[in-house]
């Protein structure tokens, strides 16, 4: 028997108090989960934004190299015509290369020259051409001209491939040049290279660890094959497996031997160490002369001269510099020589970094330093124009019909269900629709803002219809009654009274739908707006791309410099979205009426 | 304890269960209840009457701190239950509400089975040890709310499937099952038809044997029928409080007189 | 050119608007009350009909014309050169067109020259009729409507009826879109099934996906079109996404609706809205550049081998994308649970957590279920995140650290790939149709549940 009064006494008892504590804990837990969920969402948003903005800031500047140029007539306009069309045919690419050769006359050999030519952008020659064509009087003059730096140069200057770290040193430097002047003996009278040597040795140990790991893998393989060999019943298979095992043992021992050798070298307190492409780079600089060490001991070693260095005796520590670069040459896109050239140019003040206006005014390009988003932005504009022109009137008219005129029957019901379902159809399916129907059957030009706009309009239509219906429904029936009571027809009532009152809500919904359309990518890829288009589109039937598709394309390119540009393009896209949403919020706040 | 209570009842001794002194309630800047003093007696039905918006429901919700769930609401003054300040910091509103149950204006059964509706309170408060005890509590409560006969064959069906009057009795059973000492009823019959109302009124009279019942009503007849004590509220003030008999036959205040005779309301 | 023609038709319509209005004024004899309809409506009636007929004829000619030319030429080509393959005919047509328009054909021979000549004539006729037919139709309609202007002519009612049909037409466009989707998908799907010899079972249950290898004369190897790896990959990424989105979205919704102070709500809700407004391509970039390398590094420091395009990275980011979706839908249904139920629970001495868990959530469950279903439908159909961050090879695995591919990724790869469009379209549209069916079923169920639920509490 349970007596209710006894139960009543339970409230406030010791047991109930203990239970209450537990219940309160559960309460706190649920609350904590809630806060955690909000925090997770917040952190996700923050990480997303900071990773995008962080990347984007690096695309906001571009680098230029200033070089002295003599625009000699024999190179550019041998006949002295002064005619831009003749000048345009001159070999400006070769001309820029000649300029570089003059700046660094000691650079010889095909591969070294090619590295040198990679310092300015391939677009620099075109820009020079344009400049000279628009002002032929420049020919014959000598002046300083700026050349756009290549993406690799620009990235190095922004610190993407590490920095040269100056090392402390206290010794006097002696340089003994070899006969050809291309290599040199470097000596100091103090242990100035100890630090560099230690880093090199550390690198050796790292390599040894890798080799050991590979040796272990080979060992496992050997064991596996040996075990299989004992299990198998067929003689030929057995022989084969044993051979496999043996070859792995050989490889294991070879790797282990290499690792041992590396460890031994690393373990020796001094001695010399040859530097390979996988070692940290050690660089010596005396005045304008630069050399890259190829072998170092505690007090110096051998070096390759990159920029002419004079033979000298006992240069005091203040007059020479020792640099270390942690990233080995193989781990970066830029070679040691290129670093030295850039540093040398930088030292002479021939490199400058300016705000990247090109990014906002240029079309697409395969070269990251030349690529801009203006083409995509204009493409987006045309596409949105088509989308708005179709989706807004159709959406509003459909909403008026469904709210004000549609009879309550199965057809209307079907239309409604249809609209709701259409709102949740994956966007890529709309792309397939566009591909099959508008490109295939109706022959709308491929890649054109017209095709993109139609597809996006169909996609946005449900959003606009649903928002417009809500806005129309919010207009109180009393307004309709008043108009109808004065003898207006239902159509007049709808267009003269209901629609103007619902307009702010309709516009808000339309802007939100347009914002969605502006960020949409997948359906546009389906209808070919992913093509490489350099020209700025001038109408709705030109080939074009749009901002989000541009983001997608750039993110797919291997050049590292595109990463920052992709992020910058995202920022531009987000900026437009923010503006549109702010407009929607403003409209809602300013004109929203509550009845 | 049980025995004690029985004795008191037999003797007709009525103790003060709840004492309210100088209670003020504010909704943001609105002064909704002004310096109200009321005593709620044990094993008695007390009714709060008054015109709409006079604050009777608001005051009722002070008694189990339901007003805490409204962020802009602020209560000051002194309300004691069995001599303890219920607004004291050591008192947990959750525990208080287990002792002071509440039935609302609109029947609000949970979207669960009838059984689970009634078992809700005992379960969350851990009143029972096993299923058998729970079954018993559910049955007792349903019987006490005189809905057992209608509900016993459909305990596993949703409570929302009952008729309005049945739903309200289910809500009363739900409140009873938590084993409260005081039962607050906020216009429990306003959404019901006359027959269902009569049933509930009958029920309220029965409940008096086990609880102290406070009922808010705007029907004076109902107050006269079910309650022993009556408090008349007007514009946030407690105008008059006394035996129901006296209030309805011989009120002291002119406003009470006017209200009862139907001059306003 | 087409733009100019449209403008011309609209101009004709505008002219007839003023002509009819003027005529109405004229017949009224200066006494407007004589007219049944005000002159404006006479004008409007003319304008509507002229525009509708003119634009209708224009679009019909535009649509039929180029197809008709193609058909005529193709018939000609078949006659002169029977038994060619589809591609040969295509080449022939392209060359003929190139010759006619002064482009660069792949080859020039007599047949091509003849076709080109024919093409040029037809093209001329087409261009002329595109200009003349719509204009003539518009003028004729205008003349007819102008003649109808009369004192008793019920122009307002007539015009309104036309407008109502226009309104109906706008509403029907949504239905037409659905029909267009279904038709275009089904057509290619049937084509594709035909090409694999109607082995639909091999498509639905096969485990090898490599549809473009072994294509011979348009027929495909039924053993290489097994979409199970794609379904499994889609499923895996969707599961991961929902594991992130459902708890976070749901708890966020609970917190915002029942716990958060107005101050917290004031910044948390816009934050979720921003998260919802970020384009998917941005999420894809985020997944590929930030999350995938992070997961890879973390996994490697724990000694796990993680693919750089792991399902986990794509799934987690997709989950983040869906959080606001789940949270806003759940928030709506949780808020829709009547306060009286909460009061009832509090009145019995329940804590907030107990009220939420035992009263609010069960009451809101149908709505939450449909939110989750809609979320799944989103995840299944999401394209950009997986295209940018998930793998491309069909890999049948349930290990979230490996790369898997999805239905949408394969569609994009097939359509944007180098293969002949007519070959790649088959599998791509079939996948699209499958995707459409799956999401349609999910949406229909979800919308049903929501509708039932609304009826319960409204």
Start-end ranges of CATH 1.10.3720.10 in chain C?
Answer: 222-457
Domain layout of chain A by residue ranges: 4-57, 61-157, 165-331, 368-591
- Strands A289-297 and A273-274 turn out to be antiparallel
Instruction: Flag whether residue A432 sits within 8 Å of chain C, measured between CB atoms.
Output: yes
Q: What's B159's domain CATH number?
A: 3.40.50.300
Q: Which is more confident, C217 or A208?
A: A208
For C104-163, write each residue's pLDDT tens digit.
Answer: 777 778 888 888 888 888 888 888 888 899 999 999 999 999 898 888 888 888 999 999
Q: What is the pLDDT of residue A440?
A: 83
For A66-97, write each residue's pLDDT tens digit.
Answer: 998 888 888 888 887 878 888 888 888 888 88
Tokens representing residue A296 in the block: 């170092």
Distance CA C350, CA B40 (A): 24
pLDDT of C35 strictly over 90: no
pLDDT of B227 strictly over 90: yes
Helix, strand, or coil (residue A526):
helix
Average confidence (pLDDT) over C364-376: 92
* Residues belonging to chain C with any Cβ–Cβ distance to chain B shorter than 8 Å: 338, 340-351, 354, 358-359, 362-363
Q: What is the pLDDT of residue B3?
A: 42
CB contact under 8 A, C184 and A563: no
CA distances (Å), origin A280, targets A116, A179, A405, B147? 22, 27, 78, 88
Distance CA A513, CA A519 (A): 10
Is C355 in contact with B75 (CB distance < 8 Å)?
A: no
Alpha helices in A486-545 (DSSP H): 490-493, 499-518, 522-526
For A101-114, write each residue's pLDDT tens digit.
Answer: 888 888 888 888 89
Distance CA A350, CA A345 (A): 5
pLDDT of C217 strictly over 80: no
Contacts of C248 in chain A (CB under 8 A): 37, 40-41
CB contact under 8 A, A428 and C432: yes
Contacts of A23 in chain B (CB under 8 A): 94, 124
Q: Residue C388, CB half-sphere, CA atoms under 13 Å: how many?
A: 32
Contacts of C177 in chain A (CB under 8 A): 422, 433, 458, 461
pLDDT of A64 strictly over 90: yes
Q: What is the pLDDT of residue B4?
A: 41
Instruction: Find the residue in A nearest to C165 (Cα).
Output: A401
Which of C258, C287, C293, C251 is CA-nearest to residue C272? C251
Q: Is the dihedral of CA A430, A436, A442, A445 positive or negative?
A: positive
ipTM: 0.91
Domain that holds residue B202: 2-6+16-260
Task: Report the domain count for chain B.
Answer: 1
Distance CA A37, CA A418 (A): 34
> Would B135 be classed as within a structural domain?
yes
- In this structure, chain B runs to a length of 265
Task: Tell me the fold of A368-591.
Answer: MetI-like fold (1.10.3720)
Question: Chain C interface, mutation test: which of B94, B100, B137, B216, most C Cβ atoms within 10 Å?
Answer: B94
Q: Residue A219, CB half-sphere, CA atoms under 13 Å: how many?
A: 10
Q: What percentage of chain C exceeds 90 in pLDDT? A: 56
Which of A356, A290, A308 is CA-nearest to residue A157? A356
pLDDT of B6 strictly over 80: no
Mean pLDDT of all residues belonging to chain A: 89
Distance CA A562, CA A566 (A): 6
pLDDT of B9 strictly over 60: no
> Would B265 be classed as within a structural domain?
no
Other beta carbons less than 10 A from residue A462's beta carbon? 23
CB contact under 8 A, C286 and A37: no
Is A235 in contact with A188 (CB distance < 8 Å)?
A: no
Instruction: Find the residue in C nearest to B170 (Cα).
Output: C344
Helix, strand, or coil (residue A187):
strand
Instruction: Find the residue in B nearest to C354 (Cα).
Output: B124
Q: What is the pLDDT of residue A193?
A: 85
Q: Residue A578, CB half-sphere, CA atoms under 13 Å: how many?
A: 7
For B143-192, write each residue's pLDDT tens digit.
Answer: 988 899 999 999 999 888 899 889 999 999 999 999 999 999 999 998 88
CA distances (Å), origin B259, targets B186, B220, B230, B233? 20, 9, 13, 10
Instruction: Find the residue in C nearest to B96 (Cα).
Output: C349
Please state whether the predicted TM-score (pTM) of the whole model is above 0.90: no
Q: What is the pLDDT of residue B1?
A: 38
Helix, strand, or coil (residue A89):
coil
pLDDT of B5 strictly over 60: no
Instruction: Find the residue in C nearest to A517 (Cα).
Output: C279
Instruction: Find the residue in A nearest to B93 (Cα).
Output: A20
Is B78 in contact with B22 (CB distance < 8 Å)?
A: yes
Distance CA B244, CA B221 (A): 11
| CA–centroid distance for C436 within its chain | 10
pLDDT of B81 strictly over 60: yes
pLDDT range class, residue C70, cuts 50, 70, 90: confident
Contacts of C178 in chain A (CB under 8 A): 418, 421-422
Distance CA C173, CA C85 (A): 38
- Residue with structure tokens 């060999």? A229
Q: Is the dihedral of CA A505, A508, A512, A517 positive or negative?
A: positive
Alpha helices in A58-167 (DSSP H): 73-76, 84-87, 92-103, 110-117, 124-134, 151-157
Tokens representing residue C173 in the block: 């466009």
| CA–centroid distance for C350 within its chain | 48
Distance CA A396, CA A461 (A): 9
Tokens representing residue A364 in the block: 């697409």
CATH superfamily of C222-457: MetI-like (1.10.3720.10)
Q: What is the pLDDT of residue C141?
A: 93
Residues 194-233 on C with a CB inside 8 Å of A are none
Distance CA A300, CA C212 (A): 61
Contacts of B98 in chain A (CB under 8 A): 11, 16
For B103-130, write each residue's pLDDT tens digit.
Answer: 999 999 998 899 999 999 999 998 888 9
CA distance C338 to chain B (A): 9
Is B243 in contact with B228 (CB distance < 8 Å)?
A: yes
pLDDT of B12 strictly over 80: no
State phi, psi for A206 to the nearest 5 degrees: -60, -45
CA distance A421 to chain C (A): 6
| Orientation angle between helical segments A499-518 and A561-591, nearest 10 degrees | 170
> Would B206 be classed as within a structural domain?
yes
Nearest Cβ partner of A20 from B94, B122, B133? B94
Range in A129-143, B32-46, B245-259 the model is least confident about = A129-143
Average confidence (pLDDT) over C356-361: 93
CB contact under 8 A, C271 and A42: yes
DSSP string, B105-120: SS----SSBHHHHHHH
CB contact under 8 A, A398 and C167: yes
- Nearest-Å Rg of the Cα atoms of chain C is 31
Q: What percentage of chain A exceeds 90 in pLDDT? A: 42
Is A463 in contact with A399 (CB distance < 8 Å)?
A: no
HEC string of chain C?
CHHHHHHHHHHHHHHHHHHHHHHHHHHHCCCHHHCCCCHHHHHHHHHHHHHHHHHHHHHHHHHHHHHHHHHHHHHHHHHHCCCCCHHHHHHHHHHHHHHHCCCCCCCCCHHHHHHHHHHHHHHHHHHHHHHHHHHHHHHHHHHHHHHHCCCCCCHHHHHHHHHHHHHHHHHHHHHHHHHHHHHHHHHHHHHHHHHCCCCHHHHHHCCCECCCCCCECCECCHHHECCHHHHHHHHHHHHHHHHHHHHHHHHHHHHHHHHCCHHHHHHHHHHHHHHHHCCHHHHHHHHHHHHHHHHHHHHHHCCCCCCCCCHHHHHHHHHHHHHHHHHHHHHHHHHHCCHHHHHHHHHCCCCHHHHHHHHHHHHHHHHHHHHHHHHHHHHHHCCHHHHHHCCCCCCCCCCCCCCCCCHHHHHHHHHHCCCCHHHHHHHHHHHHHHHHHHHHHHHHHHHHHHHHHHHHHC
CB-neighbour burial class of residue B158 (10 A; exposed 0-12, middle 13-18, buried 19+): middle
> Would B165 be classed as within a structural domain?
yes
Contacts of A41 in chain C (CB under 8 A): 248, 252, 268, 271-272, 275, 320, 323-324, 327
Question: Chain A interface, mutation test: which of C251, C253, C389, most A Cβ atoms within 10 Å?
Answer: C251
Q: What is the pLDDT of residue A1?
A: 62
Is C405 in contact with C349 (CB distance < 8 Å)?
A: no
Q: What is the pLDDT of residue C222?
A: 84
Tokens representing residue B77 in the block: 């003054």
CB contact under 8 A, A436 and C252: no
Q: What percentage of chain A exceeds 70 in pLDDT? A: 99
For C273-302, write each residue's pLDDT tens digit.
Answer: 999 999 999 999 999 999 999 999 999 888
CA distance C206 to chain A (A): 23
Instruction: Flag whether residue C294 sits within 8 Å of chain A, measured between CB atoms.
Output: no
State phi, psi for B181 to the nearest 5 degrees: -100, -25
């Amino acid at each position: 028997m349970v007596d209710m009064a006894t139960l009543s006494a339970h409230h406030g008892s010791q047991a109930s108090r203990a239970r209450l504590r537990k219940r309160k804990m559960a309460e706190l837990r649920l609350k904590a989960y809630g806060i955690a969920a909000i925090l997770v969402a917040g952190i996700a948003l923050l990480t997303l934004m900071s990773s995008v903005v962080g990347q984007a800031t690096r695309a906001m500047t571009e680098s230029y190299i200033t070089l002295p140029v003599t625009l000699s007539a024999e190179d550019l306009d041998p006949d002295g015509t002064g005619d831009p069309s003749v000048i345009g045919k001159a070999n400006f690419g070769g001309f820029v290369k000649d300029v570089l050769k003059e700046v660094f006359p000691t650079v010889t050999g095909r591969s070294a020259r090619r590295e040198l030519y990679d310092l300015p952008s391939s677009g620099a020659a075109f820009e020079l051409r344009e400049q000279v064509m628009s002002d032929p009087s420049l020919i014959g003059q000598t002046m300083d001209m700026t050349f756009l730096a290549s993406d690799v140069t620009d990235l190095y200057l922004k610190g993407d491939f590490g920095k040269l770290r100056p090392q402390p040193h206290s010794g006097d430097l002696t340089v003994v040049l070899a006969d050809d002047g291309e290599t040199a003996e470097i000596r100091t009278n103090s242990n100035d290279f100890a630090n560099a040597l230690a880093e090199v040795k550390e690198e050796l140990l790292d390599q040894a660890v890798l080799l050991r790991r590979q040796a272990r893998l080979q060992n496992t393989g050997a064991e596996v094959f040996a075990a299989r060999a004992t299990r198998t019943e067929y003689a030929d298979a057995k022989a084969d497996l044993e051979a496999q095992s043996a070859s792995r043992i050989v490889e294991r021992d070879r790797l282990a031997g290499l690792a041992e050798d590396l460890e031994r070298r690393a373990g020796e307190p001094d001695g010399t160490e040859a530097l390979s492409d996988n070692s940290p780079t050690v660089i010596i600089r005396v005045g304008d002369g630069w050399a890259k060490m190829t072998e170092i001991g505690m007090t110096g070693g051998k070096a390759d001269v990159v920029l002419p260095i004079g033979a000298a005796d006992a240069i005091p520590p203040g007059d020479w510099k020792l640099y270390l670069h942690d990233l080995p040459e193989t781990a970066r896109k830029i070679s040691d020589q290129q670093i030295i050239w850039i540093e040398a140019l930088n030292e002479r003040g021939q490199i400058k970094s300016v705000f990247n206006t090109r990014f906002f005014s240029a079309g697409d390009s395969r070269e990251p330093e030349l690529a801009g988003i203006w083409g995509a932005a204009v493409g987006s504009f045309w596409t949105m124009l088509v989308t708005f022109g179709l989706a807004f009137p159709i959406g509003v008219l459909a909403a008026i019909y469904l709210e004000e005129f549609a009879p309550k029957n199965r057809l209307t019901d079907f239309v409604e269900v249809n609209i709701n379902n259409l709102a949740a159809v994956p966007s890529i399916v709309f792309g397939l629709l566009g591909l099959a129907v508008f490109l295939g059957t109706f022959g709308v030009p491929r890649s054109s803002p017209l095709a993109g706009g139609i597809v996006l309009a169909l996609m946005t239509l449900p959003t606009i219809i649903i928002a417009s219906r809500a806005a129309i429904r919010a207009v109180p029936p009393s307004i309709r009654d008043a108009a109808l009571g004065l003898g207006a027809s239902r159509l007049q009532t709808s267009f003269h009274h209901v629609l103007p009152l619902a307009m702010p809500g309709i516009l808000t919904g339309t802007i939100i739908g347009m914002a969605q359309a502006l960020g949409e990518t997948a359906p546009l890829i389906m209808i070919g707006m992913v093509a490489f288009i350099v020209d700025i589109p001038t109408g709705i039937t030109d080939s074009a791309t749009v901002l989000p598709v541009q983001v997608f394309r750039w993110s797919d390119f291997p050049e590292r410099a595109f990463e920052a540009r992709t992020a910058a393009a995202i920022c531009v896209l987000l900026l437009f979205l923010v503006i549109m949403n702010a407009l929607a919020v403003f409209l809602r706040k300013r004109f929203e009426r509550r009845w | 304890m049980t025995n004690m209570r029985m004795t008191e009842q037999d003797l007709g001794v009525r103790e003060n269960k709840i004492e309210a002194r100088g209670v003020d309630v504010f909704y943001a800047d609105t002064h909704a209840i002004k310096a109200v003093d009321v005593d709620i007696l044990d094993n008695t039905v007390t009714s709060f009457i008054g015109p709409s918006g006079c604050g009777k429901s608001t005051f009722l919700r002070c008694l189990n701190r339901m007003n805490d769930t409204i962020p802009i609401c602020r209560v000051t003054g002194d309300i004691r239950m069995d001599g303890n300040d219920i607004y004291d910091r050591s008192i947990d509103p959750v525990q208080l509400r287990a002792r002071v149950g509440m039935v609302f204006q609109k029947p609000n059964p949970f979207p669960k089975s009838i059984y689970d509706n009634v078992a809700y309170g005992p379960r969350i408060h851990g009143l029972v040890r096993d299923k058998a005890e729970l079954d018993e509590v559910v049955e007792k409560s349903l019987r006490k709310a005189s809905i057992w006969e209608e509900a016993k064959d459909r305990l596993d069906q949703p409570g929302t499937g009952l008729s309005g009057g049945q739903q309200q009795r289910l809500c009363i059973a739900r409140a009873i099952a938590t084993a409260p000492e005081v039962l607050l009823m906020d216009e429990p019959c306003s959404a019901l038809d006359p027959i269902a109302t009569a049933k509930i009124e009958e029920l309220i009279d029965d409940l008096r044997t086990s609880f102290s019942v406070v009922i808010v009503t705007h029907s004076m007849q109902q107050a006269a029928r079910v309650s022993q004590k009556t408090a008349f509220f007007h514009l946030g003030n407690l105008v008059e409080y006394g035996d129901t008999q006296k209030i309805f036959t011989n009120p002291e205040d002119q406003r009470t007189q006017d209200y009862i005779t139907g001059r306003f309301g | 050119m087409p733009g100019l023609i449209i403008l011309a038709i609209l101009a004709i319509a505008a002219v007839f608007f003023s002509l009819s209005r003027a005529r109405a004024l004229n017949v009224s004899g200066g006494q407007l009350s004589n007219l049944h309809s005000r002159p404006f409506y006479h004008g409007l009636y003319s304008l509507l009909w002229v525009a509708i007929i003119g634009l209708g004829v224009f679009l019909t000619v535009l649509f039929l014309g180029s197809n008709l030319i193609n058909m005529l030429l193709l018939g000609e080509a078949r006659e002169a050169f029977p038994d060619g393959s589809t591609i040969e005919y295509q080449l022939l047509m392209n060359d003929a067109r190139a010759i006619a328009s002064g482009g660069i054909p792949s080859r020039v021979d007599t047949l091509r020259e003849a076709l080109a000549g024919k093409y040029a004539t037809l093209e001329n006729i087409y261009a002329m009729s595109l200009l003349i037919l719509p204009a003539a139709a518009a003028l004729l309609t205008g003349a007819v409507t102008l003649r109808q202007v009369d004192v008793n002519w019920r122009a307002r009612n007539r015009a309104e009826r036309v407008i109502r049909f226009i309104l109906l037409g706008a509403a029907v466009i949504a239905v037409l879109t659905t029909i267009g989707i279904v038709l275009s998908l089904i057509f290619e799907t049937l084509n594709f099934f035909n090409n694999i010899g109607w082995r639909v079972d091999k498509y639905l249950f096969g485990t090898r996906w490599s549809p473009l290898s072994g294509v011979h004369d348009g027929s495909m190897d039924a053993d290489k079109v097994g979409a199970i790896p794609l379904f499994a990959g889609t499923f895996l990424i969707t599961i991961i996404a929902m594991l992130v989105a459902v708890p976070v979205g749901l708890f966020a919704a609970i917190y915002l609706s029942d716990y958060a102070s107005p101050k917290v709500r004031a910044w948390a809700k816009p934050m979720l809205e921003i998260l919802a407004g970020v384009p998917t391509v941005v999420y894809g970039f985020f997944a590929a550049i930030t999350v995938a390398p992070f997961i890879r590094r973390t996994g490697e420091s724990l000694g796990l081998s993680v693919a750089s395009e792991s399902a986990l990275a794509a799934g987690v980011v997709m989950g983040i994308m869906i959080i606001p979706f789940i949270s806003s839908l759940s928030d709506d249904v949780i808020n829709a649970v009547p306060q009286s139920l909460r009061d009832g629970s509090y009145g019995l001495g329940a804590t907030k957590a107990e009220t939420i868990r035992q009263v609010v959530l069960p009451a809101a469950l149908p709505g939450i279920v449909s939110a989750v279903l809609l979320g799944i439908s989103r995840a299944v159909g999401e394209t950009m995140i997986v295209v940018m961050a998930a793998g491309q090879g069909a890999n049948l695995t349930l290990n979230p650290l490996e790369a898997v591919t999805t239905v949408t990724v394969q569609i994009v790869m097939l359509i944007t790939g180098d293969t002949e469009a007519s070959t790649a379209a088959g599998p791509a549209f079939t996948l699209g149709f499958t995707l459409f069916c799956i999401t349609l079923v999910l949406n229909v169920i979800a919308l049903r549940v929501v509708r039932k639920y609304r009826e319960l509490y409204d």
